[in-house]
Amino acid sequence: MSKFTSIIWPKVILFGDSITQVSFQPNGWGAEIADKLARKCDVINRGLSGYNSRWGKIVLPRLINPENSADSKIEAVTIFFGANDSALEGKSQQHVPVHEYSENLKEMTRFLASAGVTADRVIFITPPPLHEPSWEKECILKGCPLNRHNSVAGQYAQACVKAAGQCGVDVLDLWTLMQKDGQDYTVYLSDGLHLSEKGNQFVAQHLWRLLESRVADLPFILPYWGDVDAKSPESSLLCDQ
């Protein structure tokens, strides 16, 4: 067999909590991003349900290895924590103080930089707003009192935006955008905390605006089928692009 060079596909890594983990479900925001980048880039889901920024900071070096050639073509990383960090102190083990949350985001950015992922390829995503009456119903079903407040989620969103500015990274401020002009943000939520189908569409639309410039120049990987030399396919399929 002819010698050939292995193809290392560019990557976009989605890192966060359950809102990221379930983003590959039908009509999920991650699935939509992956569809837009099909055959140009691997979109990798590294969502960890229930995790906060403290735990995310600890595991991130286990997910991206700068010595691995497969991690050498990371085009973008989204960091989407805060919905769990902002759980009320004493009401959930997921709680992380807002100052530490901010520092954790900065530390993750510093790690990514050490792994070759520069600040211009990192996007922070703030927690979405919280609808307390809906989420309280979920809490009661689990036998616990309401453990999150929208105003507190807003404090974490503000901290995320501020940290993004300090780190020189882009930020998608869902908490603000979903409540802009007094709109009914509950349509974006399925249970008061997680995203509905409309919420997933909202995230995909706004995130793509930030991602597109980073991936716009990525080429189509491997030749279009009509361009393959039928008599000598190896000459088309094994050449370096």
Q: Give the catalytic positions in this structure.
A: 18, 191, 194
Strand partners, 67: none
Helix axes 150-167, 98-114, angle to 10 degrees: 30
C-alpha–C-alpha distance, residues 155 and 174, integer Å: 13
Helix (H, G, I), strand (E, B) or coil at 102: helix
User: For residue 203, what are its two tokens?
Assistant: 């995230």
Q: Are the C-beta atoms of residues 1 and 66 closer than 8 Å to each other?
A: no
User: For residue 20, what are its two tokens?
Assistant: 């990221």
Closest C-alpha to 196, from 129, 120, 139, 147: 129
